[in-house]
Chains A and B, each alone.
Chain A
Amino acid sequence: MNYNWNWHIYWELSPDGQGTYFHSLLVGLGWTLATALAAWIIALVLGSVLGVMRTTPSKWAVRFGNAYVELFRNIPLLVQMFLWYFVLPEVVPRAIGTWIKQMPPPWGAYVPAVLCLGFFTAARVSEQVRAGIQSLPRGQGMAGTALGLTLSQTYRFVLLPMAYRIILPPLTSEFMNIIKNSSVALTIGLVELTAAARSMQEFSFQVFEAFTAATTIYILVNVVVVFGMRHIERKVSVPGFIGKQVEVPAGH
């Protein structure tokens, strides 16, 4: 192979004038995490609400939840990204559309990316929340009713505390997915980790060094998340209760 390896490239100055290539990669990592965390908050809140709706006795709530999940699961993430970035400013009233389009960079790409990832992942989180609630014995909900709790109290004090503990492992992998999926935001111009590696490759011509660095950083993030979540799992586990194994879902 005729490839000129140059592992010192990370410490050379990048043409963006901010510092070394290594520094640019770290800034990229920062944007990846900022995007993923903000989107995760949306996904967790909205996904929980939708997941709960889909287990309530109300037929309309179930239908709405199901429709949401079908809509967001059956359109590719990249297409959804384009819809949020290119299409949304055009179909809202003109004043709002202009305001969106005039957001200064990088917020012009960051905000749509966060919304897109948040709403997309909410559909997947809601599947997990629903599965978690439905994996509990039916008697638990009935016991709540028998104790005189209202429906919302039953969810708050009986069903959800247990359901969240059961679905912690699949939620961990959803969180990993949101970090990985944030790389799709490079198509709308957000310079996150993958985009930073790509621009390093374009400026320095050191293809494999750039991608090796990005890959290593993703793996490190992965390891940190997995260990962190394991710690949380141990901390919140209820003694004597082993969570049911929730099925391996297909993933991106």
Chain B
Amino acid sequence: MLGEFDFNVIERSIGYLFREGMTFTLTLTALAITGGIVFGTLLAMMRLSSFKPLSVVAGAYVNLMRSVPLVLVIFWFYFLVPYIGAWIVRSPQPIQVGAFYSSVITFTLFEAAYYCEIMRAGIQSVSRGQVSAGYALGLNYWQTMGKIVLPQAFRNMLPILLTQSIILFQDTSLVYVLSITDFLGAAAKVAQRDGRLVEMYLFAALVYFIICFVGSLLVKQLQRKIAIVR
């Protein structure tokens, strides 16, 4: 009951929670956002390519990732990455990758599929005439994309990209299934060690809520600020 709340346990573990746990969560989030947006944009360009095999491969990848639960993908890569690594460096044994790099690779590749769909909508929101204008000026594909289409696509899609990034931040809590000490993992460890499940999980929920709520308010503000009057 609420009267038996022990706030002391939060006070005692707060340093551990943020130093160990939140650092891991934020590093993983930052790396996965960067990697995911870069790879997702490339996937979107592939999907929109007029070269059929490319668009088919990218489409299949995106649909595969989007129809499988993240938890299953986390398990897949946790076991698959050592074998892929061994294949790349031509080692006869599966190599040790470690939980951190394994989860960075997982989240980058998984979220890229979602970023791809957003960027595809973004690229398609730039009118066809601008691409033609780029080519008419003598720019090649990469110049047209890099200097004309993508900057506008990013601007149009910035709010949705950021919202997806907040979701990514929430989703990183799922590395719990690999017993990694992210923020929730750290909270769970303290909770089980001290038998204080109620306090620790409520505190974790509160911290996630504050971060995500403030984040979504900022996104809304940004949306108003950068909206292009058409």
Which residues in A have some Cβ–Cβ distance to B below 8 Å?
1-3, 70-71, 73-80, 82-83, 86-87, 90-91, 94, 176, 180-184, 186-187, 194, 197-198, 201, 207-208, 211, 214-215, 218-219, 222, 248, 250-252
Contact = CB atoms under 8 A, between A and B. Distances in A.
B114 A250 contact: yes
A248 B118 contact: yes
A207 B201 contact: no
A78 B173 contact: yes
A86 B117 contact: no
A75 B212 contact: yes
B31 to A, nearest CB: 18
B7 to A, nearest CB: 15
B198 A176 contact: no
A70 B202 contact: no
B201 A83 contact: yes
B152 interface: no
Contact of B2 (A73, A91, A197, A251): A91
B118 to A, nearest CB: 7
A87 B201 contact: yes
B197 A90 contact: yes
Contacts of B117: 248
A250 B212 contact: no
B71 A186 contact: yes
Given A2-B93, A74-B209, A250-B160, 17 more contacts: A2-B92, A75-B170, A76-B184, A76-B208, A77-B170, A78-B184, A79-B204, A82-B201, A86-B197, A91-B1, A91-B2, A180-B70, A187-B176, A194-B75, A218-B68, A222-B67, A248-B121
Interface stretch (B10-18, B80-88, B129-137): B80-88
A186 B74 CA distance: 13
Nearest to A71: B209
30 contacts: A1-B83, A1-B87, A70-B213, A71-B209, A73-B216, A76-B173, A77-B170, A78-B174, A79-B184, A80-B205, A82-B188, A86-B201, A90-B198, A183-B71, A184-B69, A186-B177, A187-B176, A187-B177, A194-B71, A201-B75, A215-B64, A215-B72, A219-B64, A248-B117, A248-B121, A250-B114, A250-B118, A250-B163, A252-B167, A252-B171
Contacts of A201: 75, 79
A1 B86 CA distance: 7
A176 B92 CA distance: 40
A178 B198 CA distance: 26
Interface of B: 1-2, 64, 66-72, 75-76, 79-80, 83, 86-87, 92-94, 114, 117-118, 121, 160, 163-164, 167, 170-171, 173-174, 176-177, 184, 188, 191, 197-198, 201-202, 204-205, 208-209, 212-213, 216
Contact of B71 (A91, A184, A207, A248): A184
B90 to A, nearest CB: 11
A121 B184 CA distance: 21
A216 B209 CA distance: 35
A222 B62 CA distance: 14
A94 B2 CA distance: 12
Given A76-B170, A87-B197, A183-B71, A250 B164 contact: yes
Nearest to B120: A248
A194 B72 contact: yes
A225 to B, nearest CB: 10
B163 A79 contact: no
Nearest to B86: A1
Nearest to B204: A79
A218 B65 CA distance: 11
Nearest to A32: B69
B209 A75 contact: yes
A80 B77 CA distance: 25
A74 B208 contact: yes
Contact of B80 (A2, A194, A208): A208
A182 B213 CA distance: 24
Given A184-B174, A215-B68, A208 B213 contact: no
